[in-house]
Amino acid sequence: MPDAPPPARQAGFALVEVLVSLALAALMGVLLVEAVQVAGRTATAVAAAEGAEQVQGVRDHLRRTLGSLASRHLDGSLPTVRGGPETLSAAIAPDRNLERPAEVVAAFAGAPRGDGAADLIERRIPLEALQGLAPTARSEVLMERVAGLAFRYFGAPAKGLPPVWLPAWTRADRQPDLIEVRVAFPPGDRRRWPPLVVATGDRP
């Protein structure tokens, strides 16, 4: 019958196994933590990219819409731009390239959500609706969860006066030369809104 190994050699072998197991467990823990951190950074980067893409899409839409204000109605009358510090409505000229065959009135405003933020809303009102020939207007959320929406208007407040920046536009005989749109986001929101100034294109 073979002799049993000495107890000291058995204890030494067991200690080596424990140390190797602990080293492997520590390595696996480090790799797991690194994987979680990489996943978190990736998710943050994806969310930031999606937010930036959404903001750019809204900015492009506002630039196209406000840059194509109608200078005259089909009957020759002047359209009225009703612009306040937080709301704006104006007649938009027809554009068949954008599948807008008829003149519409576009209205922009913030709609409270109930959580301290608001949604940027656009309402499209067909000209027929203003004349009582169409029943409804179409509303669309352009951007969710904004902390503030502000407009400014650059133009002459009256005939014979130099153009200046104004918090509201009240002239009925012409449009402002420029419209500035500012959007603020809640604290901690990674979205950013660079300054946006749109030329209306109306130069009578």
Q: Write down the pLDDT at residue 204.
A: 41
Distance in angstroms (rounded) separating the CA atoms of residues 32 and 152? 52
pLDDT digits (tens, 9 = 90+) for 17-33: 777 777 787 778 777 77
CA distance 94 to 190: 36
* The token pair that represents 44 in the structure block: 């943050």
User: So what's the pLDDT on residue 55?
Assistant: 92
Decide if 158 contacts 137 (C-beta within 8 A).
no
Residues 106, 169: contact at Cβ < 8 Å? no
Q: Which of 11-15, 35-39, 74-78, 198-202 has the highest mean pLDDT?
A: 198-202
Say which residue, 125 or 66, is predicted with more confidence: 66
Mean pLDDT value of segment 156-173: 92
Q: What backbone phi and psi angles, to 5 degrees, belong to 28? A: -65, -40
CA separation, residue 146 to residues 22, 50, 192 (Å): 50, 15, 11
Give the number of domains in the chain: 1
pLDDT in tens, 43-78: 554 545 566 888 999 999 999 888 888 766 656 666
The answer on pLDDT for 193 being more than 50 is yes
Query: What's the whole-number mean pLDDT along residues 88-106?
Result: 72
SS3 for the chain is CCCCCCHHHHHHHHHHHHHHHHHHHHHHHHHHHHHHHHHHHHHHHHHHHHHHHHHHHHHHHHHHHHCCECCCCCCCCCCCCEECCCCEEEEECCEHHHCECCCEEEEEEEEECCCCCEEEEEEEEEHHHHCCCCCCCEEEEEEEEECEEEEEEEECCCCCCCCEEECCECCCCCCCCEEEEEEECCCCCCCCCCCEEEECCCCC
Residue numbers of the domain that contains 51: 1-204
- Please state the pTM of the whole predicted model: 0.69
Residue 51: per-residue pLDDT: 67
Percent of the chain residues past pLDDT 70, beyond the cut: 70
Q: Is the pLDDT of residue 10 over 80?
A: no
Q: Lowest mean pLDDT: which of 40-54, 67-81, 85-99, 138-152? A: 40-54
Average pLDDT over residues 95-104: 62
Amino acid 32: pLDDT: 78
Give the C-alpha separation, 33 to 110, whole Å: 42
Instruction: Say if residues 179 and 66 touch (Cβ distance below 8 Å).
Output: yes
